[in-house]
Amino acid sequence: MANHVQVNSSSFEYSNGVIVLSDKFRPDNPIKVDLKKLWLPATPFSNVEPIANNLRLSAFLLDVAALFCIRRKNTKSAAGDVARHIRTIAKFIEFLYVEGIYDPSECDRATIRVLLSKLTAGGWSEALRIYERTEKSLQQIGSSETRRIALQPGVRVGVRVGDRIKRLLGTNCSGSETAAAREAILDVVHQDRPRRSPVDKPRQLTSSALLAIFSTINLTSDLADGRGLAFLPFPNPSLLANKHGRPDGRTRNLRPEDVGALLAECFSWIYRLAGPLAELLNTLAFEMVARRPENSGARAALAASVLTTSVAARTFEAESGLRIRNIRVRHSQAQTECTLSEAIDCVLSACFIVISFFNARRKDEVQHPVIGLKDNSLRAFDEGLGLYVCSFYLEKFTKDYREFFVNDATVAAMKVLQSFSEIERKLSGDDGGLSGRSLFRVPTLRAKFPLTRRMFEFNRSRSAKRLLQRAFGESEEGLSYAPHMGRRAYGLIMIHRFSEPSLLALSQQYDHHGLDATNIYLSDASRGNTLEQLEGFGRLRTPPAEVIEDLEAAIDEVSRERLKEIVDVILRGEQSMQGRFPVFVNRLHDRIAARLKYDDADLRDSSTVVAEALLAKGHKVVAFRHGDCCASAVRSSAARCSRGSGRPRRERASPQVCATCAFHSRSLIHVQAMTLGVAHLRQQLSGLPVGCKPWKQLCAEIRDLEQAIAESQRPSWST
């Protein structure tokens, strides 16, 4: 039946009840969502059945998925986001069924209010009445059958909510959302167990989780021909989410001494231990390629022989205090022992931490197999000066590659990764050379040839555990370290060292689109990150008064020089100046011409006199996107944006207002800059969902600039 659903989308394929979402970054590994495993609860008229069996609801779900694909930019997470939206819509359909509504178009505002209250109280588990439905279903099948399908053998309280339980309930919940089902199972099987109290109910959802749910359900109101909701379910979803959700968790701060301990351990692996380890790997790789051991036993014997005779192995042990026992063993190691796999993971973890910390990068921007660092990401900008740049993919806002200057530690880490990548290339038999391959490919050194590989992934409890233990011991810092903590610590230490004059540079490094985001990133008291907690990094403070005064003086000086330049261009008449300010300057020149001498051929002196007269009246240059405002802050009743207030209100400026203002000036270079600005804004616009607030703001800015460019084509007012 599912094959008869019509799909009007080129973003995914639908066949036999399965949605196949193509992934631009992993074309060989698409994401699949099986509608035969998404359920509709039992009703008074039907039993539990898959959504795939209901053609009307399948079409509804596919329409919403197609709509989201249209509005979503093709990023590394696009396919996964669509899959999450599909599952959210499946839960919304399940909620409607629980409330006795079997057609989404019949949903009313009262039902949405019920959904809002339930989601606020306990998430989908509460909205879908998981506990009550589970209790009722289990009573029907009996405790013995419940024990057989849900309880794990040998574990009295171990409950697994698998596909059979989900099918029994007709629910699409998963993970922590099924906690209520586990409680209900235990209450049915163990009658002497204390019943669950209201305190034990699921915690309130975070504001970001609520926002994702609200935004997804809002898509159902945009379907054409009455196939979706007839109204917008959640107006202002962001405000609703912040009002009803609990604040999102924040990555906690690292103390300066913790940062020092971690970086010291990382530097040890990069600068001292990576060399002998790479030499040992090269020796072992040469022997394995030459002898080709037939099984794991022969491989282990060969590895033991190399480890015994290798000078590099002895150097590594002397420098690190760790003796490499074997390639890989399953039982635990002593504190003075490690496996070759553990040593490799320590080196790669050290490189990952150094690169992510010193460049304030996110985890996937460094190690993702597709968008992460490649063999050709690092290039020399000026080898004589020791300057290098590295190309990073900025995944959250820019969604493209950008080059950043990197420090010596980053360069050293990148070169270590390149040397290990070269070893992996030789072992895997890849003779294609360096062609944009991921730097985090790890050789497995198995007996089978060509040798298989694995992709390294930083994980504090697995791959990076040994490194963090050496840096922190068993302290809480080591056990809780996450990559984002380094990204935060980078900003805090930078602020501490430079006293906040480089906040704009820090925002650019973070790839934030505004300083507000950077300020919140550094300090947000409502989320438990107060100034007192940052005491170890120095207080976040404004620059001293003398710094502010010096900066303002520099800005005034630049404004004076710019005004003199504009006046000189107007009086020469060599360039076409748009706006009415040239007329104003020429009239002023005529009035004071009797005091001027014209011996100077280039009119430099007369230009200075006119400019000084303007400066005396309080005029100075204030740059806008669409031109330069030269109105006086003291006497500006003629300025169009003042509206007779006696002082310019430049926040009201626009191309329409400025085009008729006597104090407006625009040069040809400014017009060229506006043209480039329009192209840049249109590029940003292409990455935003159509109709969202930032999209509308960019559209308004583009219209203003295009109108200003059109105004510049009118005849010049210069005389």
d(C-alpha 503, C-alpha 497), whole Å: 12
Q: Indicate if the pLDDT at residue 536 is higher than 70.
A: no
Interstrand relation of 664-665 and 627-629 (parallel, antiparallel or unpaired)? antiparallel
Closest by Cα among 349, 356, 394 to 488: 356
What crossing angle do the helices spanning 237-244 and 109-127 adopt, rounded to 10°? 50
pLDDT score at 146? 79
pLDDT score at 717? 40
d(C-alpha 662, C-alpha 337), whole Å: 80
Encode burial over 537-556: b for 16+ CB neighbours within 10 A, e otherwise: bbebeeeeeeeeeeeeeeee
Residue 257, classed as helix, strand or coil, is: helix
> How confident is the model over 166-189, as a mean pLDDT?
85
The residue assigned the tokens 């013995």 is 144
Lateral strand order in the sheet of 31-34: 12-15, 18-21, 31-34
pLDDT score at 53? 92
HEC letters along 640-673 = CCCCCCCCCCHHHCCHHHHCCCCCEEECHHHHHH
pLDDT score at 601? 46
Q: Are 366 and 373 in contact (CB under 8 A)?
A: yes
The residue assigned the tokens 């309130």 is 204
Lowest mean pLDDT among 379-388, 571-580, 706-715: 571-580
pLDDT score at 193? 60
Q: Indicate if the pLDDT at residue 322 is higher than 60.
A: yes
- Among 23-32, 291-300, 311-320, 675-684, top mean pLDDT goes to 311-320
Q: Are 577 and 569 in contact (CB under 8 A)?
A: yes
Q: Indicate if the pLDDT at residue 447 is higher than 70.
A: no
What's the pLDDT band for 157 if we cut at 50, 70, 90?
very low
